[in-house]
Chains A and B, each alone.
Chain A
Amino acid sequence: MADVTMLDAINMGLRTEMAADSNVVLLGEDIGVNGGVFRATAGLQNTFGKQRVIDTPLSETLIAGMAIGMAAEGLKPVVEIQFMGFIYATFDQIINHASRLRNRTRGRLTCPLVLRAPFGGGIHAPEHHSESTEALLAHIPGLRVVIPSSPSRAYGLLLAAIRDPDPVIFLEPKRIYRMFKQQVQDNAEALPLDVCFVLTEGTDVTLVSWGAMIHETLAAAEQLATNGINAEVIDVATIKPLDMNTILESVAKTGHCVIVHEAAKTCGVGAEIAAQLAEQGLMSLFAPVERVTGFDTVMPLFKLEQKYMPSVVRIIAAVTRSLKNA
């Protein structure tokens, strides 16, 4: 068991799966010799060679398209897009092809690829490096969108993503890449996709979040506990397809729900969760669903980024509003 950061865990997961399955190949910009701009792939080219850890030219459309051709030919490509802000050039490939290759050939060709991209704010990065646009991808039928929130979940979910027979978008909250360490066993065991993880159990309010925001959410839950409020914290982890059962079960118990995400509010994944709560859980709710999210503004440059990000204070305020309605 090693004490590792999320980045280490990702590296460990890639290494383990590459060793176990010779069909796994990595491709992306600066991932080989340099080991990736965040060093998620450090050392892998040394171990597995230039042909399996591929430094591509600076061509996002190419990278995504290649991964589709490789996947249909039986490889298991794991793509790194350097930052989520540069993912848009891949959308034609991802939306028009990767997500639907199985469907449009009625199962003849499949697309078992993983597309990794660091995303989210909070590291004082330049413009275009800090957005959270996961909802754009979660909207697309045929894709899976997975977001880890800790080293152990990064390791287990990444293995599951690589082994999954369909395309998976794996978004890595870069703010917590190195934020803390955790004991992670390199045991090649995957975690399940398509299910939420209940991180802390509670009876008074359900807090639903994912990615880096899990940490503000957990911190808020801790503070609430000192005031005698027991929050249940759910890490959605796979935001598409969405495991509503876990959320509904929790809300049936607590009657209150606060959704926390960094992405802009309108049409964010929180809106989907709230809509499904309205459809299937309205009778359990004692108060309107609260959303604590980024604003519907352009992601500001870093001087203002802390003002944009949902804070512990805002989460606690939302919980307080919700409980007042009890």
Chain B
Amino acid sequence: MLDYEGNLLDTNIPDIANNQQQLIKLYQSMVSTRLFDKKATLLQRRGQLGTYSSSLGQEAIGATIGCLMHDEDVLFNYYREYAAQFMRGVKMSEILLYWGGNEQGMNFQKARHDFPICIPIASQVPQAVGAAYAMQLRKQQRVAVCVLGDGATSKGDFYEAINAAGIWNLPIIFVINNNRWAISLPQDKQTHAQTLAQKAIAAGIAGEQVDGNDTIALYCRLKKALEKARSGAGATIIEALTYRLCDHTTADDASHYRNQQEVQENWHYEPIQRLKYYLIKQGYWSNADEEKLYSQSQEKVETAVKEYLNTPEQSPESMFDYLYETLPDTLVEQRNSIMVKEPK
């Protein structure tokens, strides 16, 4: 709907295109997520964070998801859609704690029903189906939102899950972040299918492709799919086309497998600038707003970093304390042994 200079192409203008407040909220979320990513990557380089996966260039997907979901819905993120998590109340410091090696990071203080970051590719997809089943069984007006990468659509988990979502007409949407790469594997080596959205056909559910860098288009498609799921009309796959402008993670060096020119070209299409152009054209946004947003967001990120760095380490015995609701007798001795201070 938006071209790369931020011109609205559709003649049929959606409500969101004139919703200044909502568009600014989305823009703010994308910008602060980008600053967060940058900072997290820097912390990793400085040895203050473990491996980190950035969402650079893909922020529109998370932001629109987070903006549109209801509080009581459940998000099954993989490891990129931070913007969605932040919008749902997950703290930046919590994400840093997780990648900083502290399990407390996944003990979100808000979004308490959301699933933790999921590393085994596609394994969150059947889980989302289970949550959606529970919602349907209890006649709740809630939706499970599951985000996954393009690589994840090659896994059996994904096929099993979308197939089941079709059978039971479940309140769920599957959002594919198609950033064209799965570590070093480009999409044409991942599948011979023309689109990932068409995999929905085999499952008998709706599937559509959307420009994942076009915030307005994404918003419209996601809103419709969420409303459809909430009204009991079933599941949708949304393939959001985007591009991974960063390395796969901080442990990866993408120059081994993709050329820099491709990356440069894709900077042209990235979502933040595009939305900014539109906001300016609409008269919704000024240079002063921009400056203020960047300084406020940077401050928010810095505060989160401080909170992260000042969080006390967990005690070693915490390894035992969340294994079972009640620690089995057999583990008491092991737990005690870890509490004994080693002689210096």
A69-B144, A77-B130 known; A106 vs B106 contact (CB < 8 Å): yes
**A73 CB contact (under 8 Å) in B120, B123, B134, B328:** B134
- Answer whether residue A243 sits at the interface, using C-beta atoms and an 8 A cutoff: yes
Contact (Cβ within 8 A) A75 B134: yes
Contact (Cβ within 8 A) B107 A141: no
A65-B123, A69-B127, A109-B116 known; A57 vs B104 contact (CB < 8 Å): no
A174 CB → nearest B CB, Å: 26
- Answer whether residue A175 sits at the interface, using C-beta atoms and an 8 A cutoff: no
Separation of A144 and B164 alpha carbons in the complex (Å): 28
B161, closest chain A residue (CB): A62
Among A25, A68, A89, A108, residue most surrounded by chain B Cβ atoms (within 10 Å):
A108
- Answer whether residue B285 sits at the interface, using C-beta atoms and an 8 A cutoff: no
- Answer whether residue A64 sits at the interface, using C-beta atoms and an 8 A cutoff: yes
Which A-B residue pairs are the 10 nearest by beta carbons?
Answer: A65-B126, A69-B130, A66-B130, A62-B160, A241-B328, A59-B160, A69-B131, A106-B107, A73-B134, A69-B127
**B164 CB contact (under 8 Å) in A59, A93, A241:** A59
A102-B322, A141-B323 known; A65 vs B125 contact (CB < 8 Å): yes
**B324 CB contact (under 8 Å) in A102, A106, A244:** A102
A contact residues around B163 at 8 Å (CB): 57, 59, 62
A contact residues around B103 at 8 Å (CB): 103-106
B37 CB → nearest A CB, Å: 23
Separation of A64 and B129 alpha carbons in the complex (Å): 11
A contact residues around B130 at 8 Å (CB): 65-73, 77
A165 CB → nearest B CB, Å: 4
Separation of A141 and B324 alpha carbons in the complex (Å): 9
Other A-B pairs, 17, CB within 8 Å; known A57-B163, A69-B134, A242-B330:
A59-B126, A62-B157, A62-B160, A65-B161, A66-B127, A69-B130, A70-B130, A70-B133, A72-B115, A73-B135, A75-B137, A93-B123, A104-B103, A106-B103, A108-B107, A241-B329, A243-B329
- Answer whether residue A107 sits at the interface, using C-beta atoms and an 8 A cutoff: yes
B contact residues around A194 at 8 Å (CB): 328-330
B contact residues around A104 at 8 Å (CB): 103, 106, 116
Separation of A68 and B328 alpha carbons in the complex (Å): 22
Residues of B within 8 A of A (CB): 74, 76, 103-104, 106-108, 112-113, 115-116, 120, 123, 125-135, 137, 144, 156-157, 160-161, 163-164, 167, 318, 322-325, 328-331
A59-B164, A108-B112 known; A69 vs B132 contact (CB < 8 Å): yes
Contact (Cβ within 8 A) B131 A73: yes
Contact (Cβ within 8 A) B127 A244: no
B contact residues around A106 at 8 Å (CB): 103-104, 106-107, 318, 322
Separation of A51 and B137 alpha carbons in the complex (Å): 7
B contact residues around A61 at 8 Å (CB): 126, 156-157, 160
A25-B137, A106-B103 known; A166 vs B325 contact (CB < 8 Å): yes
Contact with B along A179-223 (1 / 0, CB 8 A): 000000000000000100000000000000000000000000000
Among A96, A97, A142, residue most surrounded by chain B Cβ atoms (within 10 Å):
A97
B contact residues around A165 at 8 Å (CB): 324-325
Contact with B along A120-152 (1 / 0, CB 8 A): 000000000000000000000110100000000
A97-B123, A107-B322, A244-B330 known; A73 vs B156 contact (CB < 8 Å): no
Contact (Cβ within 8 A) B164 A56: yes
- Answer whether residue A52 sits at the interface, using C-beta atoms and an 8 A cutoff: yes
Separation of A68 and B74 alpha carbons in the complex (Å): 13
A66 CB → nearest B CB, Å: 3
Contact (Cβ within 8 A) B116 A70: no
Contact (Cβ within 8 A) B127 A96: no
Contact with B along A42-62 (1 / 0, CB 8 A): 000000000110101101011
A contact residues around B120 at 8 Å (CB): 92, 96-97
Separation of A93 and B133 alpha carbons in the complex (Å): 17
Q: 5 interchain pairs (CB within 8 A)? A: A57-B164, A62-B161, A69-B144, A72-B127, A106-B107
Separation of A110 and B104 alpha carbons in the complex (Å): 15
A245, closest chain B residue (CB): B329
Contact (Cβ within 8 A) B164 A66: yes
Contact (Cβ within 8 A) A105 B133: no
Contact (Cβ within 8 A) A72 B113: yes
B contact residues around A109 at 8 Å (CB): 113, 115-116
Contact (Cβ within 8 A) B164 A62: yes
**A93 CB contact (under 8 Å) in B126, B134, B324, B329:** B126
B contact residues around A144 at 8 Å (CB): 324
A contact residues around B123 at 8 Å (CB): 65, 92-93, 96-97
**B167 CB contact (under 8 Å) in A51, A57, A77, A101:** A57
Contact (Cβ within 8 A) B107 A105: yes
Separation of A74 and B113 alpha carbons in the complex (Å): 10
A234 CB → nearest B CB, Å: 16
A71, closest chain B residue (CB): B130
